[in-house]
Structure 1
Amino acid sequence: MDTLRPIDPAHKDKAKELADAGVRYVTASWIDIFGRSRAKSHPVHLLPELMAGFARYTPRGINGIGAMDPVEEEVTTLPDLDTLTVLPWDTRFAWMAADMWSDRGEPFSLCPRSILKQQIDRAAEQGYRCTLGVEPEFYLYRPEDLTSGGFGVLTATGAIEPSPAYDVETTYDVADFLDDAVTTMGQIGLDAFALGAEGGVNQFEIDFYYKDLLQMADRLTLFRLMMHQVAKRHGLAVSFMPKPFANLWGSGAHFNLGLYEVGGSGESVLRLGNPAVHGEEEWSKESKYFVGGLFQHARALTAITNPLVNSYKRLTPRLVDGSVSWAPIKIAYGPNNRSCMIRLPENRPAIEVRNPDASANVYLAGAFLLAAGLDGIANEIDPGEPITELASDRDEIQRLPRTLLEAVEAFEADELSHQVFGKDFITDYAATKRAEWERSHLPVGDADRNAHLPYF
């Protein structure tokens, strides 16, 4: 069987070990632009060949970027054995994260995991290591309750006004699902420390501890897969869609970035975030410049951290009922200020980037955020003064893009985008996202006709 690399005899022993434990299939998962796992599954005895690179794909259109082409070059998956996880909800299968490689022996230009690894390597060359914690919000519902007007009310407690956020009884109503989810998370390497009801009816959040950037990207990809599978065991469905209904709170996925200096005598944390966490009066210059870099590239970043037309229906200052949405729209930072793009939490040494949502591909978002922050450090970019009041009311503060089209145009124009992603990715991603925006914008529907036909 043709492989990209020589077969390692040690992998035959691993295949036997898995088979003896009851595993029947292995999945070397590459990640599409939407952050979903894609792969074929193979009988476990083929693990050595799989590790050497024999599974080939034609991924472009299927990957969510570019047009499908039946004569395109194939790519080969090279799995990362360190990520191998026997799936707790179906122990017949073992899952691994994999990179996509061309037959020329180089990373595929549209491979999100390879793009992130390149930025991690560049950070290491500069003496830095990055960590990431993510706070994904999601809606939980019965599929049969879904209508054009909402999810229905899942919990016996019902809707809580003005918001079910932090409501203990609402959490207890879905404890069977949440307990199953948290238990399964532990089995795939994610340690939860908090769970509870969020701001929207049927909306919840499970928080877990941070990891190195690549590890978090791999685990979060598996987490999303896991959550859908666990929900189905309970006759439920989950959605990480940024804004499923106009009258409901949006679902974010705040990125908490930490940064470490790596040196010959070990490593020390760069004091990212609120200096009060460290018992200091001044925050570190690296922390300030890191935020400055995020601001410098904020509008371009949004094309990756908020990648859907629907994402920008969350990034609004108010909900349809006029209440504050809690989603940021301004390129600003503040200590514990949730109306800003960046919050400096008072309980952890991290910078919380609040605009990303869970539709973002965490590999791509992590790569761009890391590169932007390090660009800020390298060029000593000052983010200005912190904001302590509602940022959306400050007209003089630059705004995040209002639409996906605005974000894509900023993405194409930003020099750092081209350094991080390369020409091939920029071209195909921009074309794909522009087409997505046009499909949403160009159709004329009943709302337009009802509003305008009688008057014009």
Structure 2
Amino acid sequence: MTSLADAAEVVLALPDLYGRLQGTRLAGDFFRDQVLDGGYGACDYLLSADVEMRAAAGYRGDYGDFVLRPDPSTVRPLPWREDTVLVLADAVNVSGALVPVAPRQVLRTQLERLAERGLTAKVGTELEFLVFSESYREAFTTGYRDLRTASRYNSDYALTGLGELDDLVGALLRGMAGAGLRIESARGEVHPGQYEIVFRYGEAMAACDGHVFYKSGAKQIAERAGRSITFMPKFDSGEGNSCHVHFSLWSGDRPVFDEHFLAGVLACAPAFTVLGAPTINAFKRLSPDAFAPTAAAWGTDDRTRAVRVIGAGPSRRFEHRIAGGDANPYLVVAGIVAAGLYGLERELPLPPPGGDGEPLPRTLEAAAAAWRGSAVAREAFGDEVVEHLASAADAELTAFAAVTTDWERQRGFERL
């Protein structure tokens, strides 16, 4: 297995606002000689770029550099690239301080607040995706229309009849295992061509690091196989792609289930929705009768609620079900921690299970307004982070407002 000590190539990567990995490829000897201890420069707009890599999110910089400081604890081999490893980086500004709006730092700040109470968080993520027979280039050429899913019908829990899914999913599992990710399970889902891979739980930051590594690697493996996959929350009118987060509190080596913490998660869910639903498309998934929540309610082993409490005794935990496949895991988990701490600090009572709960925002515009207006968010994250993330939503809304959609043409071309 290739290690940092002998890699011919090192990919230095920074998770951006959407949880995508941005960075550069470096010669292994150059990385070891100069970058491992000294860092490497990258344009500071990377933490303000929108989906199409245009400076957005309230960017007011001059396109200068910040420093990507490698985190050696994140090194993983890339089994699908010969003699190559990937290492995640933290963004450091010219004064040597960590950039507060960088997603890893946003999460780190909340985990430090949790640690002040003698608590840690453990997380496991479930990420759904759709597999298509076409390559990414072929999908692009068609405008992402009339694509063929890699299975023809509902393959929920199916072990046969998965068509082209089997080969690609096998390659994904082997690739991730070779990179050292701990996989718990993999199974078909409801939408034709849909699959879910579940990772074993671990320390919160490491779990999020593994999540973004997997998401990036899965696309590379699919591309090499001549296929395409998408994590977008709602590709069509069928079932969407979610990012469920299993969360547990720990005091030392002992798990803790705290009702005040869960009450805080529910109380803040409407204002914090934008952390798990950062795009316009995400809100098409958050609709009734879609196994996606529409209100801040909880239940015991209830997949129709925003929070599903599962397990018993030491394994008791909750599953946060709001986030879609496009969510940034660092921000989702940071929001869970900040909201839970709010509940702990104020000893909020946990409402009864199965209630209606406060409705979640139905649009990105409403979610951004709720986030921007949240006193809890500003106290927990600070004004800079709140405004930065709200501005990212603003940029998404502005971009969409400038586009004439197929729906508008079909509705209005002849009949209006």
CA, structure 1 residues 451+71, in 2 after alignment: closer, same or farther (shift >3 Å)? closer
Conserved? CA contact 1:115–1:420, under 8 Å: no
- 1:304 maps to 275
- 1:41 maps to 25
Equivalent-residue separation in structure 2 for 1:178 and 1:294 (angstroms): 34
Conserved? CA contact 2:270–2:358, under 8 Å: no
Pick aligned residue for 1:424 from 379, 384, 387: 384
SS of match in other structure, 2:208: helix
Alpha-carbon shift at residue 294 of structure 1 (Å) = 0.8
- One-letter code of the match for 1:205? E
SS of match in other structure, 1:359: coil
Pick aligned residue for 1:27 from 11, 14, 31: 11
Conserved? CA contact 1:368–1:420, under 8 Å: no
Equivalent-residue separation in structure 2 for 1:82 and 1:438 (angstroms): 38
- 2:37 maps to 52
Equivalent-residue separation in structure 2 for 1:25 and 1:138 (angstroms): 29
Using CA pairs under 8 Å that are at least 6 residues apart, name the structure with larger relative contact order, 1 or 2. 2
Q: Structure 1 length normalisation: TM-score?
A: 0.82
Alpha-carbon shift at residue 208 of structure 1 (Å) = 1.9
Q: Structure 2 length normalisation: TM-score?
A: 0.89
- 1:154 maps to 150
Alpha-carbon shift at residue 432 of structure 1 (Å) = 2.6
Alpha-carbon shift at residue 70 of structure 1 (Å) = 7.0
- One-letter code of the match for 2:246? N
SS of match in other structure, 1:60: helix
- 1:283 maps to none
- 1:117 maps to 108
Q: What percent of counterpart residues are identical? A: 24
Matches within 5 A, 1:226-375: 226-245=217-236, 247-262=237-252, 267-270=253-256, 272=257, 286=258, 288-317=259-288, 324-346=289-311, 348-375=315-342
The two structures, once aligned, show a CA RMSD in angstroms of: 2.4
- 2:52 maps to none
Alpha-carbon shift at residue 244 of structure 1 (Å) = 0.9
Equivalent-residue separation in structure 1 for 2:308 and 2:8 (angstroms): 46
Alpha-carbon shift at residue 439 of structure 1 (Å) = 2.9
Equivalent-residue separation in structure 2 for 1:74 and 1:248 (angstroms): 43
CA, structure 1 residues 123+18, in 2 after alignment: closer, same or farther (shift >3 Å)? closer
Equivalent-residue separation in structure 2 for 1:39 and 1:59 (angstroms): 11
Equivalent-residue separation in structure 2 for 1:412 and 1:435 (angstroms): 14
Pick aligned residue for 2:185 from 181, 194, 219: 194
Conserved? CA contact 1:137–1:253, under 8 Å: yes
Conserved? CA contact 2:90–2:98, under 8 Å: yes
Structure 1 portions without partners, runs of 5+: 1-14, 273-285, 318-323
CA, structure 1 residues 449+127, in 2 after alignment: closer, same or farther (shift >3 Å)? same
Alpha-carbon shift at residue 292 of structure 1 (Å) = 0.8
CA, structure 1 residues 138+107, in 2 after alignment: closer, same or farther (shift >3 Å)? same
Alpha-carbon shift at residue 188 of structure 1 (Å) = 2.0
Structure 2 portions without partners, runs of 5+: 50-55
CA, structure 1 residues 300+70, in 2 after alignment: closer, same or farther (shift >3 Å)? closer
- One-letter code of the match for 1:268? R
